[in-house]
Amino acid sequence: MSVRSAAVWAMASQYGAFVIQFATSVIISRFFLAPDEVGLFSIALAAALLVAVLQDFGLSRYISGLPRLTPEEVNRCSSVAFIFSLIITAIIAALAWPLALFYGLPQLGPLLLIIAGSYLFLPMSVVPLALMARSMRFTGHFAVNVGGAAVHGVVALSLAWWGFSAFSLAWAVLATGLARGVIAQVIQPAKTFPLRLDGLKPVLSFGGKASTLYMTGALGSRSPDMIVGKLVDLFAVGLFSRATSLAEQFRALIAGAIGGVFYPAFARLRDNGEPLAPAYLRVVAGYTALVWPGMAGLALAAWPLVMLLYGEVWIETAPLLTMIALQAALLMALPLVSDLPILLGRMNRLLALNILETAVSIALLVAGSLLAGAWGAAASRLIYALAFMAIYLGFMRGLVGFSWRGWLTILAKSLAVTVAALAPLALTYLYWMGPHEITFPVLLLAVAGGALGWLCTMFGTRHPALDDLCRMAAPLVRPLLPRLGAWLEGERKWAGKAP
**In the predicted model, is pLDDT for residue 499 greater than 60?**
no
For 171, 180, 220, the CA distances from 164, given in Å and listed in that order, are 9, 23, 31
Mark residue 441 as left, alpha or beta (left: phi above 0; alpha: psi -120 to 50; beta: remaining). Answer: alpha
Longest dimension (CA), the chain: 70
Structure confidence by residue, pLDDT tens digits, 81-132: 888 888 889 999 999 999 999 999 999 999 999 999 998 888 888 878 877 7
Q: Please, which residues have CB within 8 angstroms of residue 100's CB and are 6 or more apart in sequence? A: 106, 107, 108, 109, 112
Res. 498 pLDDT band, cuts 50 70 90:
very low
pLDDT tens digits for 258-316? 554 565 567 677 777 888 888 899 889 988 998 999 999 999 999 999 998 888 889 99
Rounded Cα distance between 217 and 361, Å, is 10
Tell which residue, 373, 344, 202, 353, has the closest CA to residue 270.
344
Measured CA to CA, the distance from residue 196 to residue 81 in angstroms comes to: 11
End-to-end, the C-alpha distance of the chain in Å comes to 13
- Determine the pLDDT at residue 496: 41
The pLDDT value given to residue 428: 96
* CB atoms near residue 488 (< 10 Å): 21
pTM value? Answer: 0.77
Cα-Cα-Cα-Cα torsion 137, 151, 177, 2, nearest 10 degrees, comes to 10
Q: Which residues of 68-96 are buried (b: 16+ CB within 10 A; e: fewer)?
A: ebeeebbbbbbbbbbebbeebbebbbebb
Which one-letter DSSP state was computed for residue 62? H
Mean residue pLDDT across the chain:
83
- For 166, phi then psi, to 5°, come to -65, -25
Nearest to 144 by CA among 185, 174, 192, 116: 185
pLDDT over 50 at 206, yes or no: yes
Taking 60 as the threshold, does the pLDDT of residue 492 lie above it? no
Q: How far is Cα 267 from Cα 442, in angstroms, rounded to an integer?
A: 46
Q: What is the mean pLDDT of residues 367-390?
A: 94
Q: pLDDT at position 257, please?
A: 46
CA 380 to chain centre: 20
Listed by start position, the domains of the chain span 1-222, 271-464
Contact 88, 54 (CB under 8 A): yes
- State yes or no: pLDDT of 408 exceeds 90: yes
Q: Are 320 and 299 in contact (CB under 8 A)?
A: no
**Tens of pLDDT along 431-446?**
999 999 999 999 999 9
Residue 491, pLDDT > 50, answer: no
Cα separation, 180 vs 30, in Å, equals 27
Whole-angstrom distance, CA of residue 144 vs CA of residue 102: 36
